[in-house]
């Protein structure tokens, strides 16, 4: 690179300068306490944290605005370090290691797990250790409450600091390590609306650090023994939770990490999982496809619990089933509007006020505006949610979790509505803003809803309008075969009036609408391979060919890639499926975490980490493991192999 002459002015590309202010989306680990979560960068910065719940306003959000979002950083004072990050084995506790010429230091980040009722008190623990030499750590805390909109006061003492907003929100920083000599305690000073502390440690020294606590009162010096107890208790929880898994198949490490990620994204007081931990991360850098995913979609939640149940986590599945039952009971008590008896998404507590607004003062990740909170898609009609929910209810019943009487009666009313209202346009699974259409996926999922409801009623001898449901189910099937199949492209298409393909239909053989070796399906799979698959990565659909009401493009959709893996395996293309699955692992981050999408250079896009992606990874691994066992036993779907060849 040419160096500028002395005194010369060097033009700085504003776009490049903006990019450099933000970490990669993939450059994060996730920690949480089952009521909220935080993202930690590889350089030790908490740059996204909402409190007291997943869907509460942010306290730290420099991921969305480097200047106005706020952050909580622990890193070496010296800037000549290399950092590495890993999870403490079999836990959701994150270790960030800093290596310098003078020493190697570690920060163990975790949130003590909260089981039980909702609380406003949450603790984010940053436990320091020096493995070699010496290290001077700097601790910087710069909160920006309510998405950077609320001012606050700060009171600094030698024990830490207390941050207060006029709205009643408090955040306390406690210094940890009272058992050190007074002259070795951390120095604490105010910097603007935050603080900076310096901690010097030597080789082998541990038991020091900081604890950030919401609604934690006055700051105090926390003894090292208390810090260690918090770490031990948190590790014991996660190891105990993992021991409940019944999965013994291949790819256990990545399946385990995905399961823990889904658990971290589940709100313990109600059992409702959020779609992702974040808001506003774009599907295209600099683009407008930036949504708030900190809510519970009926679709995503159902599929999440289906995946966890497949690993033996029946308690989680049962609790979400109870949450869905309550939504069905609520729906039965109110008159259905144009969006159906059940909303497509809710807050984790079951409320449905999700008014969308923009944070115009936020720059957005690498200039990706607008940054939205709330979700305007909440009032859309998406017929597919009934199928995904009923498939999960059906699977839970097969695993020994039958639906109780009250829930069944409420459910029959919802299924009656589906039988009467399936034949209408909807907004579709991808929540496009281009108007309602006769989406094939929505019709197919209505078929799933009716099919599973009929089977449940017959198997358990429950009262139901079985004849009515069967007529509707068969009508849907016949309509899809007549109008959803497009002889021109020799495939099932996105909706009845298009030649565009849609990878959501990869669920058709997985959920039993067609046989995975049916010639119609194998033709569809081949068509998708030609139009939607790029070196094993799968696009949802082509926005240019099927306008969705939004500007810009998007990356490949990681959920769809794992669905493709599953469909390939079921179709007998097992070696191709394995290679695609293994390739996909290379797009995960250094911790095995995935966002929503992958860009053209292999970077991650969209909200992070994404439940959809991780649940699909689990399901694909389960299917692959089963099919590999079958092949080892000499059983292989020869028809699929012949047609694919």
d(C-alpha 322, C-alpha 407), whole Å: 8
Residues 274, 239, 566, CA angle at the centre, nearest 5°? 55
Pick the last residue of a domain from 191, 219, 242: 242
Beta strands in 438-543, from DSSP E residues, in sequence order: 485-486, 491-492, 533-534, 537-538
Whether residue 231 is found in the same domain as residue 322: no
Whether residue 266 is found in the same domain as residue 297: yes
Whether residue 233 is found in the same domain as residue 265: no
Asked if the model's pLDDT at residue 643 lies above 50, the reply is no
**How many other C-beta atoms lie within 10 A of the C-beta of residue 376?**
15
d(C-alpha 114, C-alpha 339), whole Å: 35
pTM of the model: 0.94
Residue 66 lies in a domain: yes
Whether residue 238 is found in the same domain as residue 285: no
Check if the beta carbon of residue 595 is closer than 8 Å to that of residue 27.
Answer: no
Asked if the model's pLDDT at residue 614 lies above 90, the reply is yes
pLDDT number for residue 240: 98
Pick the last residue of a domain from 192, 215, 242: 242
Residue 417 lies in a domain: yes
d(C-alpha 558, C-alpha 527), whole Å: 19
Whether residue 568 is found in the same domain as residue 591: yes
Read off the pLDDT band of 185 (50, 70, 90).
low
Structure tokens, 392: 């999960």
Residue 160 lies in a domain: yes
pLDDT number for residue 333: 74
Asked if the model's pLDDT at residue 541 lies above 60, the reply is yes
How far, in Å, are 194, 506, 607 from residue 515 at the CA level?
60, 12, 34
Average pLDDT over residues 15-43: 92
CATH of the domain at 83: 2.70.98.10
Residues 48, 290, 324, CA angle at the centre, nearest 5°? 80
pLDDT number for residue 13: 63
d(C-alpha 31, C-alpha 47), whole Å: 12
Residue 311 lies in a domain: yes
Structure tokens, 443: 């019709």
Share above pLDDT 90 across residues of the chain, in percent, rounded to a whole number:
85
Average pLDDT over residues 519-545: 93
pLDDT number for residue 549: 57
d(C-alpha 65, C-alpha 362), whole Å: 5
Phi-psi region of 59 (alpha: psi -120 to 50; beta: other; left: phi over 0): alpha
Residue 23 makes CB contacts below 8 A (sequence gap 6+) with 41, 42, 43, 45, 47, 63
For residues 337 and 507, which has the higher predicted lDDT (pLDDT)? 507
Check if the beta carbon of residue 92 is closer than 8 Å to that of residue 260.
Answer: yes
Residue 28 makes CB contacts below 8 A (sequence gap 6+) with 39, 40, 41, 42, 47, 48, 589, 593, 608
Residue 12 lies in a domain: no
CATH of the domain at 526: 1.50.10.10
Asked if the model's pLDDT at residue 499 lies above 90, the reply is yes
pLDDT number for residue 639: 41
Whether residue 365 is found in the same domain as residue 472: yes
Whether residue 464 is found in the same domain as residue 543: yes
Supply the DSSP string of 200-247, one letter for each residue: EEETT--SEEEEEEET--S--PBPHHHHHHHHHHHHHHHHHHHTT---
Average pLDDT over residues 279-290: 90
pLDDT number for residue 645: 36
Give me the residues paired with residue 104 across strands.
99, 132
Residue 533 makes CB contacts below 8 A (sequence gap 6+) with 539, 564
Asked if the model's pLDDT at residue 49 lies above 90, the reply is yes
d(C-alpha 558, C-alpha 534), whole Å: 12
Comparing 34-38, 299-303, 517-521, 543-547, which segment has the lowest mean pLDDT?
543-547
Asked if the model's pLDDT at residue 183 lies above 70, the reply is no
pLDDT number for residue 633: 81
Whether residue 211 is found in the same domain as residue 307: no
d(C-alpha 614, C-alpha 310), whole Å: 13
Asked if the model's pLDDT at residue 85 lies above 90, the reply is yes
Whether residue 221 is found in the same domain as residue 268: no
Average pLDDT over residues 405-414: 93
Check if the beta carbon of residue 360 is closer than 8 Å to that of residue 443.
Answer: no
Average pLDDT over residues 200-207: 90
**8-state DSSP, 609:** S
Average pLDDT over residues 290-306: 95
Whether residue 170 is found in the same domain as residue 188: yes
**How many other C-beta atoms lie within 10 A of the C-beta of residue 2?**
4
Comparing 215-224, 312-321, 473-482, 626-635, which segment has the lowest mean pLDDT?
626-635
pLDDT digits (tens, 9 = 90+) for 360-397: 999 999 999 999 999 988 889 999 999 999 999 999 99
Residue 524 makes CB contacts below 8 A (sequence gap 6+) with 490, 491, 492, 501, 505, 508
d(C-alpha 563, C-alpha 455), whole Å: 25
pLDDT number for residue 551: 60
Chain centroid to Cα 150, Å, comes to 27
Residue 21 lies in a domain: no
d(C-alpha 87, C-alpha 235), whole Å: 11
How would you classify the pairing of strands 491-492 and 533-534?
Answer: unpaired
Phi-psi region of 315 (alpha: psi -120 to 50; beta: other; left: phi over 0): alpha
pLDDT number for residue 640: 42
Whether residue 399 is found in the same domain as residue 546: yes
Whether residue 191 is found in the same domain as residue 267: no
Read off the pLDDT band of 4 (50, 70, 90).
very low
Read off the pLDDT band of 300 (50, 70, 90).
very high
As for how many domains the chain has, the answer is: 2
Residue 60 lies in a domain: yes
Residue 20 lies in a domain: no
Pick the last residue of a domain from 192, 211, 242: 242
Helix, strand, or coil here: 193? coil
Helix, strand, or coil here: 618? helix
Check if the beta carbon of residue 611 is closer than 8 Å to that of residue 297.
Answer: no
Q: Which domain holds residue 376?
A: 252-644
State the burial class of residue 180 (Cβ atoms within 10 Å of its Cβ: 0-12, 13-18, 19+). Answer: middle
Asked if the model's pLDDT at residue 137 lies above 50, the reply is yes
Average pLDDT over residues 178-199: 81
Asked if the model's pLDDT at residue 10 lies above 60, the reply is no
């Amino acid at each position: 690179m040419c160096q500028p002459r002395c005194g010369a002015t060097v033009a700085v590309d504003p776009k490049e300068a903006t990019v450099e202010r933000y970490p990669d989306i993939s450059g994060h680990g996730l920690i949480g306490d089952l009521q909220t979560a935080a993202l930690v960068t590889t350089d030790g910065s908490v740059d996204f944290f909402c409190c007291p719940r997943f869907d509460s306003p942010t306290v730290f959000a420099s991921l969305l605005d480097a200047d106005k979002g706020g952050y909580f950083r622990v890193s070496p004072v010296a800037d000549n370090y290399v950092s590495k990050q890993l999870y403490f084995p079999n836990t959701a506790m994150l270790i960030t290691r800093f290596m310098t010429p003078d020493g190697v230091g570690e920060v163990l980040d975790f949130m003590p797990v909260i089981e039980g009722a909702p609380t406003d008190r949450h603790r984010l623990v940053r436990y320091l250790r020096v493995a070699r030499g010496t290290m001077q750590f700097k601790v910087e805390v710069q909160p920006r409450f309510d998405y950077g909109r609320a001012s606050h006061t700060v009171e600094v003492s030698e024990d830490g600091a207390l941050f207060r907003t006029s709205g009643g929100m408090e955040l306390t920083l406690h210094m940890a390590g009272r058992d050190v000599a007074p002259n070795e305690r951390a120095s604490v000073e105010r910097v603007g609306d935050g603080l900076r502390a310096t901690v010097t440690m030597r080789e082998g020294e541990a038991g020091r650090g900081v604890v950030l606590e919401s609604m934690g009162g006055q700051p105090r010096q926390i003894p090292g023994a208390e810090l260690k107890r918090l770490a031990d208790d948190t590790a014991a929880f996660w190891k105990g939770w993992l021991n409940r898994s019944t999965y013994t198949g291949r790819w256990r490490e990545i399946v385990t990490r995905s399961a823990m990620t889904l658990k971290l994204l589940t709100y313990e007081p109600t059992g409702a999982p959020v779609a992702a931990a974040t808001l506003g991360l774009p599907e295209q850098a600099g683009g407008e496809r930036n949504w708030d995913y900190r809510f519970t979609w009926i679709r995503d939640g159902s599929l999440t619990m289906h995946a966890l149940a497949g690993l033996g986590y029946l308690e989680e599945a049962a609790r979400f089933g109870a949450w869905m039952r309550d939504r069905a009971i609520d729906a039965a008590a109110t008159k259905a509007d144009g969006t159906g008896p059940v909303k497509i998404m809710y807050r984790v507590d079951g409320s449905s006020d999700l008014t969308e607004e923009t944070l115009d003062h936020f720059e957005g990740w690498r200039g990706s505006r607008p940054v939205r909170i709330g979700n305007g898609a909440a009032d859309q009609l998406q017929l597919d949610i009934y199928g995904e929910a009923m498939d999960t209810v059906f699977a839970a019943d097969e695993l020994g979790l039958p639906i109780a009487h009250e829930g069944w009666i409420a459910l029959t009313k919802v299924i009656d509505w589906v039988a009467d209202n399936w034949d209408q346009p909807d907004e579709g699974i991808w929540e496009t803003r281009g108007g309602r259409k006769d989406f094939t996926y929505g019709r197919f999922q209505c078929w799933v809803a009716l099919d599973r409801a009929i089977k449940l009623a017959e198997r358990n001898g429950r009262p139901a309008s079985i004849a009515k449901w069967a007529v509707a189910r068969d009508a849907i099937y016949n309509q899809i075969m007549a109008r959803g199949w497009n002889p021109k492209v020799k495939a099932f298409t996105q909706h009845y009036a298009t030649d565009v393909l849609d990878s959501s239909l990869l669920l058709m053989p997985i959920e039993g609408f067609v046989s995975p070796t049916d010639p119609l399906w194998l033709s569809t799979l081949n068509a998708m391979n030609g139009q939607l698959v790029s070196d094993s990565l799968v696009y949802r659909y082509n926005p240019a060919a099927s306008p969705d009401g939004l500007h810009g493009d998007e990356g490949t959709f990681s959920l769809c890639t794992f669905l493709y893996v599953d469909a390939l395996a079921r179709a007998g293309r097992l070696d191709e499926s394995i290679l695609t699955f293994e390739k996909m692992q290379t797009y995960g981050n250094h911790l095995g975490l995935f966002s929503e999408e992958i860009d053209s250079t292999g970077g991650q896009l969209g909200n992070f980490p994404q439940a959809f992606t991780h649940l699909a990874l689990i399901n694909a691994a389960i299917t692959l493991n089963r099919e590999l066992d079958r092949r080892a036993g000499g059983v292989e779907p020869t028809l699929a192999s012949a047609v694919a060849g």
